Amino acid sequence: MAKIPDKPQDVFIPLTQDYQKVFGKDLIALILYGSAAGGSYVKGKSDINLLVVLAPDAVNRLEDSWATVKQWKKSRVAVPMVMTKAFIESSLDCYPIEFLNMKNSHILIYGENVLEQLKFKPEDLRLQIEKELKGKLIILRQGYLETEGKSRQLKQLISRSFTAFISIFNALLYLKQAPVPQKRRDTIKEVAKLFAVDAEVFLTCADIKEGMDKLSGYEVVGVFKKYLREAEKICNIVDEL
């Protein structure tokens, strides 16, 4: 299959067949995650993100899947993440945000749903939230200096960083035992309710990410400065949790 699918589900059967040919009984699971699993798939723009879970021995023969991976890239199936069940279970303390977001937004294509029963320690989650937020804040400040206030570069900086903030927001909602919505705009609104964050700034950033904004150059600078201030505010909130 070499065409771009209208919807992710169109690839499920042939994708499963191809990976079964390569790994046979060592294929534990195929799982769709990310925007394509969360209802934000846009044909021709969105990648189809795939988690491949293998038996331990099969991880040592990944080269068997080179041709399969190459062929499916033509249909915008991204190079998959490959893991074992043991690797996932041992990584929840250091990558809780990543696995939490996969758990919250995934579709089981084949095999065992290894994400469904994952549980996360609040202290691990809070620590990574703080680390990620402060890292993003540093990068945004550096990026702002580099752009010299040019609107095109600022929009690119917002687009590159925005998805990470949504992942962090989902983790914050989980930490507070609040509902975690599937759609990112709903996620922004829920976080704004719980933490007194300016939702409008992040909703405008969503417009920029999706190419829907009609902001002037002067307005983009204003939005970015508000974006920075809100990011710093969230850092302070997390410090106090």
Nearest to 115 by CA among 92, 139, 138: 92
- Categorize the per-residue pLDDT at 2 as very low, low, confident or very high, splitting at 50, 70 and 90: low
pLDDT in tens, 20-59: 999 999 999 999 998 889 877 888 888 899 999 999 999 9
Which residues lie across from 110 on neighbouring strands? 30
Bigger pLDDT: 240 vs 143: 143
Res 41: pLDDT: 83
Compute the distance between CA of residue 92 and CA of residue 107 in angstroms, rounded to an integer: 20
> Could you tell me how many helices (H) and strands (E) the chain has, helices first?
9, 4
CA–chain centroid gap for 113, Å, is 19
pLDDT in tens, 187-237: 999 999 999 899 999 999 999 999 899 999 899 999 999 999 999 999 999
Q: Is 170 exposed, middle or buried (0-12, 13-18, 19+ CB in 10 A)?
A: buried
Q: What is the DSSP letter of 114?
A: S
CA distances for 203 relative to 1, 17, 21, 113, 235, angstroms = 36, 40, 44, 33, 19
Q: Which CATH code of 3.40.50.2000, 3.20.20.60, 3.30.460.10, 3.90.1010.10 fits the domain covering 8-111?
A: 3.30.460.10
Nearest to 126 by CA among 181, 176, 75, 89: 176
Res 182: pLDDT: 82
- pTM for this predicted structure: 0.85
